[in-house]
Amino acid sequence: MPPIEADWRMPLRTGGRTAPQALGEEAHIGPLKGRLAGWETVRTLRFLLVCSIVLPPLAFALGGYFVFASIHGHAKADLVRTAAVAEEHAAKVVELNQLVIERINDLLAPYDDDAIREREPAFHQELVQAIKGLPQVKSAWILGSTGKLLVSAGVFPVDPSADLSQRPYFKALMEGGRRIDISLVQGYATHAFLVVVAGRRQELRNRFGGVVAVVVAPGYFRSFYEKLVNGSPDFTVALVRDDGAELVRYPAPDSALPAPGAASLLMNAIARNPQGGSVEGRAAGDAATRILAYQRIGNFPVYATVSRTRASIFWEWADAMKGYLYFRVPVAIGVMLLCLMALRKARSEAAALARAHEAIEQRDAAEMALRQAHKMEALGQLTGGVAHDFNNLLTVILWNLEALRRRLPPELADMARLADAAMEGARRAVTLVRRLLAFSRRQPLAPKPIDPNRLVAGMSELLHSTLGESIAIETMLAGGIWRISADVTELENTLLNLVINARDAMRGGGKLTIETANALLDEAYAAAHAEVTAGQYVAISVSDTGLGMTREVAAKAFEPFFTTKDVGQGTGLGLSQVYGFIKQSGGHVQISSEPGAGTTVTLYLPRLLGAAGEAAQPHAALTPVGRARGETILVVEDDAAVRAAAIEMLRELGYRVLEAADGRAALRLLEAEPEVTLLFTDVGLPGGLNGRQLAREAQRRRTGLKVLFTTGYARDAIVHQGRLEAGVELIVKPFTSAGLGAKLRHLLESDASTQA
C-alpha cells in the first residue's frame, strides 16, 4: 500500500471511512441509519422543491414552444389561403378589364389614328358605355401608335398634344411581345396613382397600332384587402409585378413606393418557385422579419402577396399564453411554497434528529470509552497482580537456568540442549509478560527527546537484516520534522514489531516504506476517536505491499491474543504492545488496509514543545564494562528466592553483597556497614517502608549513595502515568546476570549520584 503523504492534515482514510483505531471500536449503524433517514427526507423534499421551481418554467417553455409552432403553422397556412383569395380577386379584375379591352379593340379595328381622332365624340361615348356598370374601372384611354392620347372616357375633348409614349405600359407593349401589361402610373390630369391594364391595338398594315388602356383605382383593391384581413394592421396585402414594383398595397404606404429592390424577399422566392408559395425572412430595407405568401395571377407578370410580421405572431402567442400564466403560475407558486414549508420543517426535524443521534453517538462513544477503560483497567490490574510474582519466579528460573547452563560440562550435550530449550521458554514468558504490561499501559517508560528521522535512519541496518533480501526498504524522511518525547527502546521495539508484521504479510517479497511527517489532528478528528487530543503530532508510518486486511480484521488487530497467523506462529501481542505503548506515550495509532492492497500503520506521537535538549541516540543499550571493583552492594528483596538469585549474580560478578528482607533491616545495615556503595532494592517491600521511601531515607543518611530499583510491576512509587521519575534508575524483573552487571557498572561509574 502506498505510504502516506507528508501532509499537515492527517489521518489516512480507507474507502471513504476512517479505519477503526481504538480497541473494540464499533460502527454505530443504527444511529447512522436514523440520521441518514432524516436527511434522506430533506433531500427528497429538496428535490421536490427544485422540481417545483424548475419543472413549471420548463413545462411553460416546452408548451410555449409547441403553442408557438402551432400558431406559426396556422398563420402560415392562413397567409397562403389569403394570398389565394387575393389572387382570385385580382385575376377576375384583370380578366374583366381584358374583356373591355377586346370590346374596344373590336370597335377600333377599321380605323387608324387620324380616323379615330376625327370621330373622338363617338368613340368617347363608346368608351363611356364600355365601362358603364363596372365600379372597379375608373376610366379608359385610346393611345395612338406614337403614344398620343386619342380618346378618353373621363375627359372630352382630350389635349391633342398629350404624349404618353413614355409610360411603362406603352413601352412594354410596343417593344415586347406582350399582349397585356399591368403597371402603376400617375394620372395625366389628376396626378393620382392609378393601376393600368393595357392591351395592344390590332396591327394596321403590319405595324404597331397603339394601346387601349383600362384604368383601375388602387382604392378598389385596398377596400377589398381591408375586408380580407379584417382591417388588421399586422397584415400587408399587395399586388407586385414580377420585376418587384408594387402596384397596390394595403395598408397604403405613407411615402412614395419603394424601389423594386425592396421586394428582394419576394423576388428570391419567385426565383425558386415562380408560381407561388411562402417564404420567411427579412427583405432589404425592412427592419421586421416577415412571413410572406404569394400567388401568381394567371399568366400575367403580377403576384398577389400577403405578409405579416413574426412579431405579430409572437404577440398572438403571448395572448394565448396569458391564460396559462394566469392559471398555472399561482398553482406552481403554491406548490413551491408548500415544498419550501415542508423542506424547512423537514430540515428542522432532520437537524433535531441529527442532534439527537449525535447525542446518542456521543453517549455510546462515552460508554464505549468507559467500557474500554474499565476493560483496560481490569486487564491492567489482572496483569499487574500476577506480573510481580510471575517476574520474581522468572528471575529465579532464568538465573538458575543460566547458572546451570554455564556449569554443565561439555560431555553433557543433551542436558545442555534441554537447558537451552528451558531458557528459550523462559525468555518467551518474559516477552509475554512485558507485552501484557505494555498493552495494559503498566510498563515503566523513560521518555527522552527523540529526532524521528535520526531514529529511523539509525535502525536501517537492523531492519535490513530483519526483512531479508526479498523485501526492499524505502525511507521517506520529511524535512523540518518535529521532535518527540518517548522511550527510545520501546519505540524501536514498536517499529521492529510493525516491520516484522509487514514482513510476515509479504510472504513472496515486496516493498516496505517507512515515512515520517508532521501532522495535525484537528478537533473534529479528536472528537470522533476516543483518547485522542487535538494538536500537533509526528506521524511515523510503516507501509507494506502485502496481503492487507478486511475492515473487520483491522478493527480487532490491536486486541491481545488476536492473530491471523497460523497456530504457533504468533502470540497476537505484537500490535497490542504497539497500541499500549503509543497510548501510554500520549499518542494515537491508526490502521489503513484493504485486502490485496497492503497495510499502512501510522503512529502519531505528540510534538515535543519547548527546550528539548539533546536528542537521544538510538540503540543506547548498556554493555558490560568490567567486573566489580571492590564495591559493596546492599540487596533489599522480600522474596527469598529472588534475593538469593540476585546475591548469587552479584557475587559471581565480584561484588561484596549484603542482604535485607525489608526496609528497616536495610537501614540498620547501612548504619552498621559504611562500605555500602549502592542500594539495590525492590520497589514493593513489606513492613510499611517501600523501596522509594527506603531510598530517600538512605540517601538522606548517606549522601552520595547510589540507588538501583528493581520491580516486576510498575508501582506508583517510582512511576507516574507510566513514566519513571526523573533521576530514577530501574532494572525490570526478570533480569539476567549480564544485564544487571551492565546496569551496575553504568550507574557506579557515572559522575553524578542519583537523586531519587
Mean per-residue pLDDT for 199-224? Answer: 81
Return the minimum-mean-pLDDT range out of 43-52, 96-105, 631-640.
43-52
Higher pLDDT among residues 430 and 228, named by residue? 228
pLDDT digits (tens, 9 = 90+) for 310-335: 888 888 788 777 776 666 677 777 77
* Architecture in CATH for domain 74-312: 2-Layer Sandwich (3.30)
pLDDT digits (tens, 9 = 90+) for 135-182: 888 888 888 888 888 888 888 888 888 888 888 888 888 877 677 888
Percentages (nearest 5) of helix, strand, coil residues in the chain: 45, 20, 35
Q: Are 628 and 563 in contact (CB under 8 A)?
A: no
Separation of alpha carbons 51 and 58, rounded Å = 10
Domain 632-748, CATH homologous superfamily name and number? Response regulator (3.40.50.2300)
Asked whether the predicted pLDDT for residue 120 surpasses 60, the reply is: yes
Q: Are 20 and 550 in contact (CB under 8 A)?
A: no
Who's near 421: CB < 8 A, 6+ residues apart? none
Asked whether the predicted pLDDT for residue 426 surpasses 80, the reply is: no
- Per-residue cell: 321: 399564453
Q: 360-386 as b/e, with b when 16 or more CB fall inside 10 Å?
A: ebeeebeebbeebeeebeebbeebbee
Summary mean pLDDT of the chain: 76
pLDDT at 386: 67
pTM exceeding the 0.75 threshold for the entire prediction: no
Q: Name the percent of the chain lying above pLDDT 90.
A: 3
pLDDT at 739: 83
Q: How confident is the model at residue 366 (pLDDT cuts 50, 70, 90)?
A: low
Mean per-residue pLDDT for 687-716? Answer: 83
Q: How confident is the model at residue 230 (pLDDT cuts 50, 70, 90)?
A: confident
Separation of alpha carbons 71 and 77, rounded Å = 10
Q: Are 144 and 161 in contact (CB under 8 A)?
A: no
**For the chain, how far is it from start to end, CA to CA, in angstroms?**
48
pLDDT at 616: 52
pLDDT at 620: 44
Higher pLDDT among residues 258 and 58, named by residue? 58
Beta bridge partners of 9: 520
Please, how many CA atoms are within 13 Å of residue 125, restricted to the half-sphere of its CB? Answer: 3
Range picked from 177-181, 375-379, 635-639 for highest mean pLDDT: 635-639
Return the minimum-mean-pLDDT range out of 60-64, 391-395, 597-601, 619-623.
619-623
CA distances (Å), origin 696, targets 15, 660, 714: 56, 17, 18
Return the minimum-mean-pLDDT range out of 111-120, 196-205, 248-257, 375-384.
375-384
Return the minimum-mean-pLDDT range out of 24-33, 157-166, 524-533, 622-631.
24-33
Could you say which DSSP state residue 295 is in? E
Who's near 485: CB < 8 A, 6+ residues apart? 447, 448, 449, 450, 585, 606, 608, 612
Higher pLDDT among residues 720 and 147, named by residue? 147
Please, how many CA atoms are within 13 Å of residue 421, restricted to the half-sphere of its CB? Answer: 6
Q: Which amino acid is at 693?
A: Q
Please, how many CA atoms are within 13 Å of residue 104, restricted to the half-sphere of its CB? Answer: 34
Asked whether the predicted pLDDT for residue 236 surpasses 80, the reply is: yes
Separation of alpha carbons 634 and 82, rounded Å = 131
Asked whether the predicted pLDDT for residue 480 surpasses 80, the reply is: yes
pLDDT at 754: 42
pLDDT at 563: 63
For the CA atoms of 307, 310, 315, 316, what is the dihedral angle to 10 degrees? 60
pLDDT at 590: 84
pLDDT digits (tens, 9 = 90+) for 464-475: 777 777 888 888
Domain 432-606, CATH homologous superfamily name and number? Histidine kinase-like ATPase, C-terminal domain (3.30.565.10)
DSSP H/E element including 477 = none
Q: How confident is the model at residue 286 (pLDDT cuts 50, 70, 90)?
A: low
For the CA atoms of 533, 534, 540, 543, what is the dihedral angle to 10 degrees? 90
Higher pLDDT among residues 254 and 183, named by residue? 183
Q: How confident is the model at residue 420 (pLDDT cuts 50, 70, 90)?
A: confident
Let me know if the fold of 74-312 is the same as that of 432-606: no
Beta bridge partners of 602: 541, 590
pLDDT at 635: 92
Domain extent listing, the chain: 74-312, 432-606, 632-748
Q: Are 521 and 481 in contact (CB under 8 A)?
A: no
What values do phi and psi take at 61, rounded to 5?
-65, -45
The string of DSSP codes covering 43-64 is HHHHHHHHHHHHHHHHHHHHHH
Q: How confident is the model at residue 752 (pLDDT cuts 50, 70, 90)?
A: very low
Mean per-residue pLDDT for 583-589? Answer: 81
